[in-house]
Every structure is written in C-alpha cells, then in structure tokens.
Amino acid sequence: MLHFVQALQHNSWFIAMNSSIAITSFFEVCHYAGFFLLVGSIALVDLRVLGIAGRRQTATAMAEQLFPWMWTGLIFATISGFLMFTGDAIDFYGAPLFRVKMLLLVAALVVGIVVQWQVPRWDQRGPMSLGAKSVALLSLLLWVATILAALEVPAINGVG
C-alpha cells in the first residue's frame, strides 16, 4: 500500500496539478460543495425519519427527492478528495486521524445506504419504529464524527 501511495505522490500529473493554487482551490471548492450536498441531503432524510423535519410529507418522498443529490455530492467529494490526497499522499497515509476519518466515512456511507434502502419499508409500517430512528440517529452522529475527524487531521496530525 505504501508503494502505491508513494507512486501517487510522485506521479508527474498529480505533482503538476497540486502545484497550481488555482487547481488546488478548485479541488477544495468541489470537495466542500460536494460534501455539503452529501451531508445536507442525508441529514434531512435522517431528521425526517426521526420525525423532526418535513412532517407534511412521507420520508419516502423526501428520500426519493434528496438521495440522488447525496450520490452526486459523494462523487464530487470523492474525486476531489482523492486528487487533494495525491498532493500529500505519504503524509495522509501515515496520519492516524486520516485513517479514523476514512473508517468513519465508510461506516457513515454504509448506514446511509441502509437508510436509503429501508425508508420505503419503514414508511409502510406506519409511524417510525425505535429501530428506524436509532439508525437515522446513528447516521447523523457518524457524519458529525467524520467531519470532526477530518478537521482534526490538520489540527492534530499537521497534514492537509
């Protein structure tokens, strides 16, 4: 894995991209806008499952409207995040909090997919069950934890 990470950081294309302030700023804008769209969309669906948002409509209606934007945001955030990673790949790879962030991100995505998959079933059963609400709350907490871990990478590990 370390060889792959070293190869990424020493790749001439990635070096060229990451040496331009305009290009790295563009990556950052894509990363932030992508994750705002990703987290904002899924958070609203989670809050609807918890019964504290958009109660005039079903959770399924809200999920169908917002989940395509969750995936769009994820694509933007992932591609730009990968390109930002290549600029400091070796340091990011060695940063413990970056690994924590990635694990939390995967967990948040898995729970997000479970929410997307289960929302129509939960809706059919009438009022949201305690189990459904617990999954939605877990999803929200995992996203908050992912953002916090991401912010701690430069603060504690000095990378990024």
**Count of residues near other proteins by CB under 8 A:** 36
Which one of residues 2, 75, 106, 151 is an interface residue with other proteins (CB under 8 A)?
151
The set of residues, in sequence order, having a beta carbon less than 8 Å from that of 39 and lying 6+ positions away, is 73, 143, 147
130 to 149, contacts with other proteins by CB under 8 A? 143-144, 147-148
- DSSP alpha helices (H): ranges in the chain? 2-10, 12-18, 21-49, 59-87, 89-94, 96-124, 130-157
Name which of 22 and 130 has its Cβ closer to other proteins: 22
Interface with other proteins (CB under 8 A), residue from 29, 75, 103, 106: 29
Q: In this chain, which of 69, 90, 107, 114 binds other proteins, going by CB under 8 A?
A: 69
| Segment contacting other proteins by CB under 8 A, of 2-10, 41-49, 99-107, 111-119 | 41-49
Residue 117 interacts with other proteins (CB under 8 A): yes or no: no
Q: At what angle do helices 130-157 and 96-124 cross, to 10 degrees?
A: 160
Shortest approach of other proteins to residue 78 CB, angstroms? 16
Residue 93 carries which side chain, given as an amino acid letter? Y
> According to the binding rule CB under 8 A, does residue 61 interact with other proteins?
yes
Cα-Cα-Cα-Cα dihedral sign, residues 60, 110, 92, 8: negative
Give yes or no for a contact between 70 and 41, defined as CB atoms under 8 angstroms apart. yes
Quick count: other Cβ atoms within 10 Å of Cβ 126?
7
Closest distance of CB 156 from other proteins, Å: 6
To 10 degrees, what angle do helices 21-49 and 59-87 make?
150
Would you tell me which residues interact with other proteins (CB under 8 A)? 21, 25, 28-29, 32-33, 35-41, 43-44, 47, 53-54, 56-57, 61-62, 64-66, 68-69, 73, 143-144, 147-148, 151-152, 155-156
